[in-house]
Amino acid sequence: MRVAERPSAAHEKEASVRFEISDLNFYYGAKQAVFGLNLKIPKNKVTALIGPSGCGKSTFLRTLNRMNETIRNTRVVGNILLDGQSILNMDVVKLRRRVGMVFQRPNPFPKSIYDNVAYGLRINGYSGRLDDLVEHSLKRAALWEEVKDALHKSAFALSGGQQQRLCIARALAVDPEVLLLDEPCSALDPVTTAKIEELMFQLKDSCTMAIVTHNMQQAARASDFTAFMLDGKLIEHNETSKLFTTPQDPRTEAYITGRFG
């Protein structure tokens, strides 16, 4: 197990681990996409997943909230524990309320801004003070000031960056323990990207985050831990600063110095 071989990293993580993944294998039909992955995702920290296109990082991220089950013919073999409980045996609806996801392209519903944020609350059966919860989520997503006077306008009236922050607010509304972000900034401009990285920094006290990113500078800026994947295998996982300054594996070094990928 790669993680256990690094004493300093292990010490950090044993303090509090949110997700514990052991021996994870994932198949799209007959094709295997993830090979024997072992990883611990620490609580209230940002873990970045980096690697070249097709290395399996998005696939792996989506196993954490079982979104891959929406695709036919997929198979998960291995253990994924959320706070000690296997997510494969858990009710998938309950799992997805604890583990939220933000996607690569903003995907707001064709409803008003208010109804988008309130959607998760409504399907959970919240009937109480929705207004306060909607406001709170929009504030956490750093969008409140820009939309507070236009909550009943269509979500499509917002710009791309605002829509993505709306999707983050929507995901945060149900107060998830974990937020999975699948290249959330790849369709956005640098200014908006900076805003989202800033809000990730503020969120991590209350929310564990795992972010897949193609942008190594983003990983270096915004994450506490980084995991490098290649061809479906986890190559190296360490504190971000250590991984980027002193990578242990030659393949990691080749990737982060831009020799491939």
Partner 1 sequence: MSSVRLIWRKSVNAVMLTLTGVAAFGVVCILFLILGYFVYNGGRSLNWAFFTRLPTPVGESGGGMANAIIGSLKLLFLAALIGLPVGLMAGVYLAEFGGKAFAFVIRYTTDLLNGVPSIVIGIFAYSLAVAPVKHFSTLAGGLALGIMVVPITLRATEEFLRAVPGSLREGAMALGASKWRTIATVVLPAAAGGIITGMLLSLARVAGETAPLLFTALGNRFWSPGWSQPTAALPLMIYEYAISAYDDWHRQAWAAGLVLLAIVLLANLGCRMALGRRGMPRSS
Which residues in this chain contact partner 1 in the complex, by CB under 8 A?
A: 65, 67, 70, 93-94, 96-97, 100-101, 103, 105, 107-111, 119-120, 123-124, 167, 170-171, 174
Smallest gap from Cβ 142 to partner 1, in A, equals 20
What is the DSSP secondary structure assignment for residue 198, as one 8-state letter? Answer: H
Smallest gap from Cβ 93 to partner 1, in A, equals 5
Phi-psi region of 191 (alpha: psi -120 to 50; beta: other; left: phi over 0): alpha
Q: Are 235 and 56 contacting, i.e. CB atoms less than 8 angstroms apart?
A: no
DSSP reduced 3-state for 227: strand
Residues 198, 47: Cα–Cα separation, whole Å: 15
Closer of 6 and 105 to partner 1 (Cβ): 105
Smallest gap from Cβ 260 to partner 1, in A, equals 30
Closer of 55 and 181 to partner 1 (Cβ): 181
Alpha-carbon dihedral angle through residues 167, 171, 172, 178, given to the nearest 10 degrees: -130
Residues 261, 258: Cα–Cα separation, whole Å: 7
Per-residue buried b or exposed e for 212-240, using 16+ beta carbons within 10 Å of the residue's own CB: bbbebebbbebbbbbbbbbebbbbbbbbb
Closer of 136 and 221 to partner 1 (Cβ): 136
Closer of 203 and 234 to partner 1 (Cβ): 203
Smallest gap from Cβ 109 to partner 1, in A, equals 5
What is the DSSP secondary structure assignment for residue 184, as one 8-state letter? Answer: T
Smallest gap from Cβ 110 to partner 1, in A, equals 5
Smallest gap from Cβ 117 to partner 1, in A, equals 11
Closer of 163 and 226 to partner 1 (Cβ): 163
CA distances from 37 to 40, 56, 92, 129, 226 (A): 10, 11, 22, 43, 14
Smallest gap from Cβ 10 to partner 1, in A, equals 31
Backbone angles phi, psi at 211, to 5 degrees: -125, 130
Closest C-alpha among 252, 245, 202 to residue 227: 252
Residues 42, 62: Cα–Cα separation, whole Å: 17
Closer of 178 and 256 to partner 1 (Cβ): 178
Closer of 69 and 189 to partner 1 (Cβ): 69
